[in-house]
Amino acid sequence: MTENSELRGFYKLTMGERRQLLKKVTSLSDDEIKILANTGGLPAETADHMIENVVGGYTYPLGVATNFTINGKDYLVPMALEEPSVVAAASNAAKMARVKGGFKVTNTGPVMIGQIQVVNVPKPEGAKAKLLERKIDLLKKANDQDPMLVSLGGGAKDLNVKVLSSLKGPMVIAELIVNTGDAMGANAVNTMAEAVAPMVEEITGGRALLRIISNLADRRLVRATAVFDRETIGGGDVVDGIVYAYAFADADPYRCATHNKGIMNGVVAVGIACGQDIRALEAGAHSYASRNGRYKPLTTWEKNRDGDLVGTLEMPMAVGLVGGAARTHPAARANIRMLGVKTAIELAEVMGAVGLAQNFAALRALASEGIQKGHMKLHAHNVASSAGATGELIDIIAARLIEERKIRFDRAKELVAELSKEK
Ligand code: MEV
């Protein structure tokens, strides 16, 4: 807490000086400042250059999901997140998927869209036709910005133009369709969009306003599928239960938001571990889920002729291996090496499989014993540990909290005091 948040020149200070100042203007203790200063596996200097006004680091637990076999190849999947049960659920789902060969995933290529908004266009439909006539010139201008990407087979490949009727009247939107290769592509696409904007103005007679990538990456999809053996997953009732659970999500946006949240538990955790822009992944996922005007599940679940469960997932997956934190963050680099992916589309495919696995695990639990049992066990361990329990006391106190049905910090504290005395 502070009385005055106007810290003039804060950005000019060194990290250490910023912390000193923070200490002065907040109620943070020396110990708290020390905790915030810790940048973990990220060198302080790197952190200081990644974002602005850096004072330290913030660490998530890093778990490794096991058992994944995707397109015939095995993967150990790094996942960084704060929520208990997610890594265990992914590993367990992947183990069950293995029985029928694991996950099969395809993708539509690393294609992103860059939008140029043009306003005050005298003749919008005519301008659209003119822009399309000059497509080759516009693509050339875009590609001149990134000869490296072009030399690797990427670059601006096509131009789409639409006339929108908006709150402010008609506007022309020129869209560059860009193959971004192994990059997530925001930098490449934004640079291209800005570079072609003056030409777009000249051709249309209008004013180019926004020039920016679209996070509705519907040309950069992954499609994952897996067959889950009926007996392995608990029998015909479980299969039917999961199909019903899917039908619920398909029919009701309130349930669907949670259904898709479960998918993102996996996608985002791998995304964080591998240095991806997870805000872009979330934006892409949810806008894609609503693309037809109704919010829908990113997965489907059905029963096949043998009575087994078949799951599919289709969603945008804008990820990259070059540029951004995937390059600058040493832990992200190590995780990408642990995973062993060689291209951005391979990373996208793994993340699609993890999303499907995560959704399967959640629906299976929800359609049978519910998620609280497993969740509460882990939650009890967290509560015990944050109440000060260490070593074997964590297990003992967690078991007591569950037995007493009081998974609460105050009770855990009492037990820590009581049992530490006894020891
Ligand atoms: C919790 O983080 C995720 C779930 O709520 C997903 C779902 O309900 O499908 C369990």
Instruction: Report, as an integer, the average pLDDT of 82-106.
Output: 97
Q: How far apart are CA 318 and CA 32, in angstroms?
A: 36
CA 326 from centre of chain: 13
Q: Ligand 1 within 6 A of 297 CB?
A: no
What strands, in cross-sheet order, belong to the sheet with 221-228?
A: 104-107, 221-228, 309-316, 299-303
Q: What is the pLDDT of residue 422?
A: 74
Q: How far apart are CA 36 and CA 31, in angstroms?
A: 9
Q: Calculate how far, in angstroms, residue 264's C-alpha sits from the geometric centre of ligand 1.
A: 10
Nearest residue (CA) to ligand 1, atom 3: 262
Q: Which residues are known to be catalytic? A: 83, 261, 277, 375
Q: 265, 372, 378: which to mutate for ligand 1, most atoms within 8 A of CB? A: 265
On whether the CB atoms of residues 4 and 11 are closer than 8 A, the answer is no
Nearest residue (CA) to ligand 1, atom 6: 262
Amino acid at residue number 46: T
Q: Binning pLDDT at 50, 70 and 90, where does residue 1 land?
A: confident
Q: 92, 250, 261, 356: which to mutate for ligand 1, most atoms within 8 A of CB? A: 261
pLDDT digits (tens, 9 = 90+) for 136-177: 999 999 999 999 999 999 999 999 999 999 999 999 999 999
Share of the chain above pLDDT 90, in %: 91
User: At a CB cut-off of 8 Å and minimum separation 6, what does 123 contact?
Assistant: 205
Q: Calculate how far, in angstroms, residue 123's C-alpha sits from the geometric centre of ligand 1.
A: 50
Q: What is the pLDDT of residue 382?
A: 87
pLDDT digits (tens, 9 = 90+) for 17-49: 999 999 999 999 999 999 999 999 899 999 999
Q: What is the mean pLDDT of the chain?
A: 96
Structure tokens at 201: 């103005």
Q: Calculate how far, in angstroms, residue 89's C-alpha sits from the geometric centre of ligand 1.
A: 11
Q: Ligand 1 within 6 A of 378 CB?
A: no
User: Which numbered atom of ligand 1 lies nearest the CA of 245?
Assistant: 9
On whether the CB atoms of residues 141 and 195 are closer than 8 A, the answer is yes
Q: Ligand 1 within 6 A of 364 CB?
A: no
Question: Is pLDDT at 285 greater than 80 in this prediction?
Answer: yes
Q: Binning pLDDT at 50, 70 and 90, where does residue 423 land?
A: low
Based on the number of CB atoms within 10 Å of its own CB, is 362 exposed (0-12), middle (13-18) or buried (19 or more)? buried
Q: What is the pLDDT of residue 4?
A: 87
Nearest residue (CA) to ligand 1, atom 1: 262
Q: 364, 371, 378, 379: which to mutate for ligand 1, most atoms within 8 A of CB? A: 371
Question: Is pLDDT at 178 greater than 70 in this prediction?
Answer: yes
Give the single-character DSSP code of 308.
-
Q: Calculate how far, in angstroms, residue 69's C-alpha sits from the geometric centre of ligand 1.
A: 23
Structure tokens at 390: 């260490």
Q: Binning pLDDT at 50, 70 and 90, where does residue 377 land?
A: confident
Question: Is pLDDT at 129 greater than 70 in this prediction?
Answer: yes
Instruction: Report, as an integer, the average pLDDT of 368-389.
Output: 83
On whether the CB atoms of residues 206 and 127 are closer than 8 A, the answer is yes
Torsion angle defined by CA atoms of residues 175, 176, 181 and 186, in that order, rounded to the nearest 10 degrees: -60
Question: Is pLDDT at 270 greater than 90 in this prediction?
Answer: yes
Give the single-character DSSP code of 205.
S
**Nearest C-alpha neighbor of 295 from the set 231, 251, 350:** 251
Q: Ligand 1 within 6 A of 258 CB?
A: yes
On whether the CB atoms of residues 377 and 384 are closer than 8 A, the answer is no
Q: What is the pLDDT of residue 362?
A: 97
Q: Binning pLDDT at 50, 70 and 90, where does residue 16 land?
A: very high
Q: What is the pLDDT of residue 329?
A: 96
What strands, in cross-sheet order, belong to the sheet with 169-179?
A: 155-166, 169-179, 111-119, 207-214
User: Which numbered atom of ligand 1 lies nearest the CA of 371?
Assistant: 10
Q: Ligand 1 within 6 A of 416 CB?
A: no
